[in-house]
Amino acid sequence: MGASKLSTNKFSSRTSYGSFFAGNPAPLIIDYLVIAGGGAGGGLGTTADATGGGGAGGLRSSVAPTGGGGTAESPLQLDASTNYTVTIGAGGTGGITTGGDGTNSVFATITSTAGGGGGGFSLVGNPGGSGGGGGQSAAGGTGTANQGFAGATFYGGGGGAGSVGTTFAFNNTNNGGAGVTNLISGTSVNYAGGGNGGGMANNTFGGGNGDFPLSTNNATAGTANRGGGGGGKWNNNGASVSGANGGSGIVIFKYPDTRTITIGAGLTGSTAPPSGGFKVSTITAGTGNVSWV
């Protein structure tokens, strides 16, 4: 009698051939959210004026939405028992001129671009994942395609992952660009909002507030592990003041609960209990390697 043949009707539509044959396991497919550090808000020397807010860190994700109005990227197919680099970008540091840029965040082949610093007095905002807002009469920095939007001109709000910043409007409202809400963790969280320019408070997008009232020093930093931009300054008393720092970035993974992650030395992270057939691991600081078996 000849050798028997496998019948295709013995495989359900949910069973992969790779998982049927010993020694050929199903592929390792990883969904991700990678957010860079946000830029700092612009600062001032002795000139009495206002500055731009910091741009949010670039946001890339295989789970919609991603930043800059782009479509979700493809998940990564990785090799088991192989190290992959992860770096969490720091937020930019405020100074008395243009705010410092954030730092890139990295996972394997995915790099999210640091947020641009907000412009100091009459200085343009820096380009970045999202661009920093411009100082007085100065342009905002450009964003990066599929990561974030541009900052605004004239005491401008920093760009966010969800929209461009807006110009100063002589009122106490948010003018940093909107972030985006992502559900990769299983919870709805708003990430990567731009920082407000000087004189603008009530930032609801995760970016920092600008100075308000006008004569106080109360600009705030972007939210940590959300990549928010820092708030800009408004100075009426002639003192040198630094813009607020940007918020740090984050990397989140979602993968089948049949897999186990190893988070290497140098990284700070945790894994939530399995839910719905998946695990979610979150890395909040450091640089190092991760791997799965």
Contacts of 249 (CB under 8 A, 6+ apart): 34, 35, 36, 37, 38, 57, 88, 89, 90, 91, 102, 103, 105, 112, 225, 227
205 part of a folded domain: yes
**b/e sequence 34-55, b meaning 16+ C-beta within 10 Å:** bbbbbbbbbbbeeeebbbbbbb
pLDDT score at 26? 78
190 part of a folded domain: yes
Task: Look up the pTM and report it.
Answer: 0.89
Domain of 207?
28-293
**Total domains present in the chain:** 1
12 part of a folded domain: no
For residues 274 and 288, give the distance between their C-alpha atoms in angstroms, rounded to a whole number. 24
pLDDT score at 213? 62
Q: Measured between alpha carbons, how far apart are the two ends of the chain, in Å?
A: 41
Structure token digits, residue 128? 């970045």
33 part of a folded domain: yes
23 part of a folded domain: no
- Coil, strand or helix: which one is 9? helix
16 part of a folded domain: no
Token pair 């705030």 in the structure block, residue: 220
* Cβ count within 10 A of residue 193: 37
56 part of a folded domain: yes
Kindly provide the residue ranges of all beta strands, DSSP E only, lying in 43-133, ordered along the sequence.
Answer: 59-61, 76-78, 84-87, 105-107, 110-112
pLDDT score at 22? 45
> Mind listing the pLDDT tens digit of every residue in the chain (293 residues)?
343 333 333 323 333 333 344 455 678 999 999 999 999 999 987 666 889 999 999 999 999 989 999 999 999 999 999 999 999 999 999 989 999 999 999 999 999 999 999 999 889 999 999 999 999 889 999 999 999 999 999 889 999 999 999 988 766 667 999 999 999 999 999 999 999 998 888 888 888 888 776 556 688 999 999 999 999 988 766 678 889 999 999 999 999 999 999 999 999 999 999 999 999 999 999 999 999 99
Would you give the DSSP letter of residue 44?
A: B
237 part of a folded domain: yes
pLDDT score at 45? 79
pLDDT score at 54? 97
